[in-house]
Structure 1
Amino acid sequence: MNRLLIKRVYEPAAVEDGFRVLVDRVWPRGVSKGHADLDEWMRDIAPTPALRTWWDHDPARMVEFAQRYEAELDANESEVRHLAAVVSAHPTVTLLYGAHDPVVNHARILRDYVLRRLVDDFDS
């Protein structure tokens, strides 16, 4: 199976990143478009502004946030299908995010969701 990684957009790009996809709705502060070294920006796969505001990156809300975000992803079939196709087309894809915390961020949830989706599609 192809590799799906996550990484802060503020970290330097590396060859090992493969195809680089920014998965934040807003452009990260202080990052020039050239420095980001992106292959694609999928802003519409990020949590909605309302969900992001409710969550506020509060670790205590992470479980409920994950449930709500996955519900949004369930309703966002075209974006999820597109990301799954990107992952299937490249040996390595790195989802880039701007949050400070490497654990409390939506990219982890998105990565796990897409990996489950790919496995489910493969098993079908």
Structure 2
Amino acid sequence: MARDNSDPGKGVVDIRRVYDAVPERPEPGRVFLVDRVWPRGIAKGSLDHDEWLRDVAPSPELRRWFGHDPERWEEFRERYRAELDARPETLRPLLDAAREHPVTLLYAARDTEHNHARVLRDYLVEALSRER
């Protein structure tokens, strides 16, 4: 988890596997599902989240290419960051929320080390740091 030391509530961006987050809601702050597809086995009414941001997830083509192959991790990170650079409007809800409150990004991938939520968190933290 990354923190802004000037205000312990603002600028905090955390990630959590959606299956670990149900039924308990991380508090305080805003919670966003950042997967392109709804997580398997999770009823839509059972996930306590503020918003589902499909468009901030990697493109279907990039997701298929990566296939959660750790050997492709570094290139995936570069390609996904390029996608985020090309779609800054998709980040606005996350950045706006993180300027005011802690933010939790929910993801469904099994691999907790090699997943898009990690890349997205780092990207957001960097963007917030450049604003300060």
TM-score (norm 1): 0.92
The unaligned stretches of length 5 or more in structure 1 are none
Task: Name the SS for the 2:31 alignment partner.
Answer: strand
Paired position in structure 2 for 1:27: 38
Paired position in structure 2 for 1:85: 96
- Count residues with an aligned counterpart: 121
Alignment of 1:62-73 (within 5 A): 62-73=73-84
1:48-81 per-residue CA deviation (whole Å, 9 max, x = no partner) reads 0000000000001000000000000000111123
Task: Name the SS for the 1:10 alignment partner.
Answer: helix
Partner Cα separation in structure 1 for residue 91 and residue 84 of structure 2: 7
Tell whether 2:111 aligns with 1:101.
Answer: yes
Contact 2:26 2:104 in 1 (8 A): no
Offset of 1:101 from its aligned partner?
1.1
Match of 1:74 among 79, 85, 95: 85
Stretches (4+) displaced over 6 A: none
Contact 1:17 1:94 in 2 (8 A): no
Match of 2:57 among 39, 46, 55: 46
Match of 2:128 among 93, 118, 123: 118
Q: Answer with 44-53 or 6-15: which moved more.
A: 6-15
Paired position in structure 1 for 2:18: 9
Indicate the RMSD between aligned Cα atoms, in angstroms. 1.2
Partner Cα separation in structure 1 for residue 56 and residue 110 of structure 2: 19
1:1-32 per-residue CA deviation (whole Å, 9 max, x = no partner) reads 32110001111323436311000000000001
Task: Name the SS for the 1:96 alignment partner.
Answer: strand
Structure 1 residues 39 and 55: alpha-carbon distance in aligned structure 2, compared to 1, 3 A threshold: same
